[in-house]
Structure 1
Amino acid sequence: MKQIFSFFLLFCSFVQPAFALSPNDPFLDSLWYLDHIGVPEAWETTTGSSEVIVAVLDSGVDFDHPDLADNSWVNKKEIPEDGIDNDGNGYIDDVYGWDFVHEDNMPIPDVGLGFEEDAVSHGTFIAGTIGAVGNNTEGIVGINWSVKIMSLRVLDNYGVGDSEAVRKAIEYATTNGADVINLSFAGYDYSERFQEAVEKAYEAGVVTVAAVGNDSDGGLNINHYPSYPACFTNGAGSDDWVIGVAATQEDDTKAIFSNYGSYCTDISAPGTDFYSTFFQDDEWLEFSEEYYHGYWSGTSMAVPVVSGAVALLIAEYPTLTPSQIKIILQLSVDPVVQIGIVGRREMGAGRINVARAFSIAGQFGLSREELESVKPSTNIVVVPEAGSPPMVRVFSKNGLLLTEFLAYDEAFSGGVRVAMGDIDADGEDEIVTVPGKGGSPLVRLFEQDGTLIREFYAFREDLQTGFFVAVGDVNGDYREDIVVCADAGGRGRVKVFTQEGTGIEDLWPFGSTEISVRVTTADVDGDGLEEIVCSQGGGTSPLVRVLELDGTLVSEFYAYATTYDQGVFVAAGDIDGDGSDEIVTGTDEGGGPQVQIFNGTGSWIGTFFAYDDQFRGGVRVTVGNLSEEKNASASIITAAGPGGGPHLQIYNNHAELIGTFFTDQETDRQGINVSTWSL
């Protein structure tokens, strides 16, 4: 077993601070560092969000603590004590996280087999600094008044752990929605598997914050004695997957015990004289009296200051990436006096200044308020069905061709499927494509001018069944996710990815089947979280299913008569302006051009024929807000299937035709697919 954790304690006096925004927590004056780094000024903007999750990988967190209970993460997908892995994540009854030391579902400190008092309370102490409930007339206040602390126990009662437990905990945190991972420990043994887990977390948009470590002899230069995980990097300097944190004291000089080194130290933070939450258990004399304790020092204390600041930034600017957050923190620092250290930036960019970080964060991302008010562009994207080159054409709502580009090699003629969404939250839609039959499962993301942003394979590269794609925020992180499913022959699998191409979830909405599956996303209940809506191709009934991300069935209904078996296309948008999306269906080739409209529970709302009722090429549908007003009712846009011309029609919420144009030569009869963005 490798020891990867150590901390160094001092017991000192403190100076009482004055706060700009003062919560009513009675021990507020013991938290000198809050005022010193500008946290109260940041509280004028936000005091945190329960939608932000910070995973504390440590000796366990006392999640029943009166100052932590309301901010403790609960896995709502798991049913307590039923002995079943309800959410399918590989951990049974993991309601409050997981203990990777004992491999059980109680990630709290365990004092039954011997202990060191400080080690037992270490995780609880860290959690309080990040997110003790604020303004509750109880104890202390965390940097975040509101947040969710995910307890993952990786250190035993003596503060000792091994890299394999930490690796598994990082993977758990990443898979289960953590935004920030706090690692208040360090060691000097390198682990490739540990590093791979950290890298994957970074690629999934998770910010990992770690201590550079302590040494009783004035601190080590980790340029010469690398400390992990702070020193995990790809070696090329372009990707530094961890924010490495050194410790300072009240006069902004290096704390005597803190390690340092420009290669791995990204930023410094206060790390002395900390007062925080303490593990409490009446059955043990050592833990029977105090819910709070101090005064501790160490780089272990500096890490939750940075993790807490990161969580606070994400609460206000939820689309910030790990690299953007690191840049913001480093651009906003105060200088550190490097007494006794030779070299530049040995303590990182400087000492964290949270108030200044908030003053510049708006240059890197949109605030929650701005995200709610932004109105993406309302262009319409058209791509061909099989038989034509894979040309993507972008039109204005009035039919003006704005740009065109090839999604794949010009020789490919299997057709293209397309979705649109504001992938990077910049107020402009991006275009996501997958190939039709005969193409490998290559997902491509483009700007509307055709600039390729990135690409990734959704399935194994030799699978050439053809694919369908949708875009929507299905996991509630304010970032558009990408949903991909296979055409006939793909076994009915639906896969969900982040915008970076990292897998989030796999679903089988109709079980294992060789029939094609089609997909869209829809907020059917108006809660701001989009569900996944699936239908099937020809050869089965016209069943539509609405699912949550974890596969839970929300509703199901038949879009057409149960005897109809030609296949169904699905789209969704808020057609009636009530805040919830309606589901719109169209027929596949062989069916008439009948468009149906349903609410989220499957209740029928209306129907109309988009083209001549004798046409049997089917009709593709999409829904988009083509008005200049953000909350206006969405329009239904239809495109003719094979045998019909490239004829696009726009209908309002009363099924009245309000616009029409051809997207190519009227004699072209291969059929087209269409997408736009629906708010």
Structure 2
Amino acid sequence: MKIPYRYILRTSASLLLAGLSVFPVFAQEDPVPSVAAFDPAYVNWYNLDPVQDKVQGTGVNRAYKELLGNKKPKKTIVVAVIDSGIDIFHEDLKGRIWVNKKEVAGNGQDDDQNGYVDDVHGWGFLGNAQGENIRYETYEYVRLLRKLAPVYQHVNAISEVPLAQQPEYKTYLRSKQTYEKELAKHQQTKETLAAFEQVLNQVQDVLAAHLKTKDFTVQDVQKISTPDENVMKARAWYLGRFNQGLTVEAFQKYKEYTDTFLEKHLNLAFNPRTVIADNPEVISDTKYGNNDVAGPRPTHGTPVSGLIAGLRGNNLGIDGIAENVQIMALRAVPEGDEYDKDIALAIRYAVDNGAHIINMSFGKGFSPQKAFVDEAVKYAESKNVLLVHAAGNEASNNDQVPHFPTRVLGDGAQIRSWIEVGATSRTLGKDLVAPFSNYGKQTVDLFAPGVDIVSLAPGNKYAKMDGTSFSTPVVSGVAALVWSYYPELTASELKEVLLKSVVVYPKETALSPASETEARKKVKLSDLSVTGGFVNAYNALLLAEKQVNQKKAKS
């Protein structure tokens, strides 16, 4: 996917050099020990209200102040976060992590006999009993190509393939096409970066010789004034790149990202699944994983959890959305594409262990074991569990481009307790809809804050980030808030409340997200999602009160 959920890169400042038309910056900035490091306008903006604060947040603060001051929540809502891992000891999640009270911590026994040993706070599906964990994975199309190429690589036409195998052959062709496109793109990027680095090194050498130190700053370069033409050219080039968004640190991160993509995500020979030693195509092969819910990469699940459940009003860090909530930690999303089997088992674990809401900030373009996930989400729906899923960050139309998992089952039926979420920014206008966000008039239900979001980072730190990965927990948090006060609602009724209570701007237009093949264009918000609106906790609580009273009157 163009902008994966796993803190990869988003396109921003222009860098017109050596064929590199845009220079990307990381979707998560380097973590800091305090939110004081951020512009105050970004901290907790998702809690603000479009009417009172003139910021396109969710009205959470207004709801607490005007609607919930004299009310007590009726139920603690458990939100299962299926993600990369969570720092459950973060200072802003204290007391908010789910505890399996039927399990005795650290005794090496499966006390509750649910198939998972010492699963006190959840489970990690990306490791083994010896404590070894997977961080990096290939993309699904790479795994498909590795499996199917020996079967179909010498086929010249679909007519040569038996009818029963033709769907698989088409999958092979699509995975091969995607692989070759991504491989060529990242190989070209690597070559471009190498050429750019050569120029950068030459410029740095010239400046270092003039300044008589290699540890110079931008401010040092700005002060240079000399008749030496070469030094002034180097100065102009260096400052020009800096003004376009380049720092040496960001460049090195981009290089590392590109190398990782080629060496891990696109490497046909890379197969870390051997650590787990299971068969990912057999759903009954469940004897794997461990109780390490943080794992080697808690950098994604931690901010997701913070938006849902970060402690409010403690003058520390951020304010999460829901108060009477607990986070169940399920680690199933590597840096690369998740396996369908891991997701299916994580969903079933969440349902069987009491989760009310499942947050799913991940996605991919291929789903070879979709039937596993279909059965799991059907099971979740049957147990009155709400599923909240990120629409994706490829700036694509989900009505036209496959994006998994999906509420649409193999037989065409749809899960009624599923919400698909796109991302928005703080202010009205052309950039209201995030330029990276997926959309879809039939497939994306609503939008929520997902640009310039400040949330938690591992190790009691904080960071600013973008992505539908973060608009999704905003919706999960609002859902948990509403459900904690109105547990009489079913999951599908809660979804209906959230969708019917969105803030809409019938006359407002925005620029559509921009993909690799389609430029941004002016569109109506109603053309980008089912509701054409943005989640709002204040409105949702008002409607929930009305709906519950109507239910009581009928009973």
TM-score by length of 2: 0.56
Per-residue deviation, 1:183: 0.4
SS in 2 for 1:173: helix
SS in 1 for 2:92: coil
Provide the C-alpha distance between the structure 2 equivalents of 1:425 and 1:174, rounded to a whole number of angstroms: 27
Aligned match of 1:268: 447
Aligned match of 1:362: 545
Does residue 317 of structure 2 align to residue 317 of structure 1? no
SS in 2 for 1:70: coil
Aligned match of 2:43: 30
Aligned match of 2:82: 57
Provide the C-alpha distance between the structure 2 equivalents of 1:134 and 1:276, rounded to a whole number of angstroms: 13
Per-residue deviation, 1:30: 0.8
Provide the C-alpha distance between the structure 1 equivalents of 2:353 and 2:302, rounded to a whole number of angstroms: 21
- Describe the superposition over 1:646-679 as per-residue Cα deviations: whole angstroms up to 9, x where unpaired: xxxxxxxxxxxxxxxxxxxxxxxxxxxxxxxxxx
**2:332–2:346 contact (8 Å) kept in structure 1:** yes
Partner of residue 195 from structure 1, selected from 357, 369, 374:
374
Aligned match of 1:183: 360
SS in 2 for 1:246: strand
- Describe the superposition over 1:224-246 as per-residue Cα deviations: whole angstroms up to 9, x where unpaired: 11212244357667644421001
* Alignment of structure 1 residues 171-570 onto 2, 5 Å: 171-190=348-367, 191-215=370-394, 219-233=395-409, 239-252=415-428, 253-280=432-459, 291-335=460-504, 337-339=509-511, 340=521, 344-349=526-531, 350-365=533-548, 428=555
**2:121–2:293 contact (8 Å) kept in structure 1:** no
Which portions of structure 1, spanning 4 or more consecutive aligned residues, are displaced by more than 6 angstroms?
10-13, 26-29, 47-50, 424-427
Amino acid at match of 1:360: L
**2:80–2:355 contact (8 Å) kept in structure 1:** yes
* Alignment of structure 1 residues 565-576 onto 2, 5 Å: none
Partner of residue 140 from structure 1, selected from 305, 318, 331:
318
Aligned match of 1:575: none
1:292–1:48: structure 2 CA closer, same or farther, 3 Å change rule? farther
| Percentage of identical aligned residues | 34
**1:128–1:277 contact (8 Å) kept in structure 2:** yes
Q: Size of the alignment, in residue pairs? A: 338
Provide the C-alpha distance between the structure 1 equivalents of 2:318 and 2:90, rounded to a whole number of angstroms: 12
**1:55–1:151 contact (8 Å) kept in structure 2:** yes
SS in 2 for 1:71: coil
- Describe the superposition over 1:105-154 as per-residue Cα deviations: whole angstroms up to 9, x where unpaired: 4343333xxxxxxx531100100000012222322111013310000000
1:273–1:159: structure 2 CA closer, same or farther, 3 Å change rule? farther
- Describe the superposition over 1:333-389 as per-residue Cα deviations: whole angstroms up to 9, x where unpaired: 12363422667442331111111111111122259xxxxxxxxxxxxxxxxxxxxxx
Provide the C-alpha distance between the structure 2 equivalents of 1:330 and 1:316, rounded to a whole number of angstroms: 18
Per-residue deviation, 1:331: 1.2
**1:41–1:355 contact (8 Å) kept in structure 2:** yes
* Alignment of structure 1 residues 72-111 onto 2, 5 Å: 72-102=97-127, 103-111=288-296
**1:120–1:159 contact (8 Å) kept in structure 2:** no
Q: Which has the higher contact order (CA 8 A, sep 6+)?
A: 2
Provide the C-alpha distance between the structure 2 equivalents of 1:276 and 1:32, rounded to a whole number of angstroms: 11
SS in 1 for 2:530: strand
SS in 1 for 2:312: coil
Amino acid at match of 2:422: A
- Describe the superposition over 1:554-598 as per-residue Cα deviations: whole angstroms up to 9, x where unpaired: xxxxxxxxxxxxxxxxxxxxxxxxxxxxxxxxxxxxxxxxxxxxx
Provide the C-alpha distance between the structure 1 equivalents of 2:393 and 2:27, rounded to a whole number of angstroms: 18
**2:497–2:540 contact (8 Å) kept in structure 1:** yes
Provide the C-alpha distance between the structure 2 equivalents of 1:235 and 1:251, rounded to a whole number of angstroms: 40
**1:4–1:188 contact (8 Å) kept in structure 2:** no
RMSD: 3.0
Amino acid at match of 1:132: G
SS in 1 for 2:95: helix
Provide the C-alpha distance between the structure 2 equivalents of 1:130 and 1:321, rounded to a whole number of angstroms: 20
Aligned match of 2:63: 42
Amino acid at match of 2:398: I
- Describe the superposition over 1:463-506 as per-residue Cα deviations: whole angstroms up to 9, x where unpaired: xxxxxxxxxxxxxxxxxxxxxxxxxxxxxxxxxxxxxxxxxxxx
Provide the C-alpha distance between the structure 1 equivalents of 2:462 and 2:421, rounded to a whole number of angstroms: 23
**1:135–1:145 contact (8 Å) kept in structure 2:** no
**1:328–1:360 contact (8 Å) kept in structure 2:** yes
SS in 2 for 1:41: helix
Provide the C-alpha distance between the structure 2 equivalents of 1:268 and 1:232, rounded to a whole number of angstroms: 19
Per-residue deviation, 1:48: 6.2
Amino acid at match of 1:243: I
As a proportion of its length, which structure holds more helix? Answer: 2
**2:87–2:298 contact (8 Å) kept in structure 1:** no
Provide the C-alpha distance between the structure 1 equivalents of 2:410 and 2:427, rounded to a whole number of angstroms: 34
Provide the C-alpha distance between the structure 2 equivalents of 1:251 and 1:27, rounded to a whole number of angstroms: 15
**1:110–1:120 contact (8 Å) kept in structure 2:** yes
SS in 2 for 1:348: coil
Provide the C-alpha distance between the structure 1 equivalents of 2:317 and 2:372, rounded to a whole number of angstroms: 40
1:237–1:90: structure 2 CA closer, same or farther, 3 Å change rule? closer
**1:222–1:261 contact (8 Å) kept in structure 2:** yes
* Alignment of structure 1 residues 92-131 onto 2, 5 Å: 92-102=117-127, 103-111=288-296, 120-131=298-309
Provide the C-alpha distance between the structure 2 equivalents of 1:90 and 1:323, rounded to a whole number of angstroms: 30
- Describe the superposition over 1:431-461 as per-residue Cα deviations: whole angstroms up to 9, x where unpaired: xxxxxxxxxxxxxxxxxxxxxxxxxxxxxxx
SS in 2 for 1:363: helix
Can you give the 5+ residue segments of structure 2 that lack an aligned partner in the other structure? 11-24, 29-38, 49-56, 128-287, 512-520
SS in 1 for 2:299: helix
1:425–1:60: structure 2 CA closer, same or farther, 3 Å change rule? farther
Provide the C-alpha distance between the structure 2 equivalents of 1:81 and 1:51, rounded to a whole number of angstroms: 26
Provide the C-alpha distance between the structure 1 equivalents of 2:126 and 2:487, rounded to a whole number of angstroms: 32
Shifted more, 48-57 versus 186-195: the winner is: 48-57
Provide the C-alpha distance between the structure 2 equivalents of 1:28 and 1:56, rounded to a whole number of angstroms: 27
1:425–1:151: structure 2 CA closer, same or farther, 3 Å change rule? farther
* Alignment of structure 1 residues 146-157 onto 2, 5 Å: 146-156=324-334
Provide the C-alpha distance between the structure 1 equivalents of 2:493 and 2:96, rounded to a whole number of angstroms: 26
Amino acid at match of 2:488: T
1:134–1:366: structure 2 CA closer, same or farther, 3 Å change rule? farther
Provide the C-alpha distance between the structure 2 equivalents of 1:426 and 1:85, rounded to a whole number of angstroms: 46
Provide the C-alpha distance between the structure 2 equivalents of 1:234 and 1:364, rounded to a whole number of angstroms: 33
Per-residue deviation, 1:315: 0.5
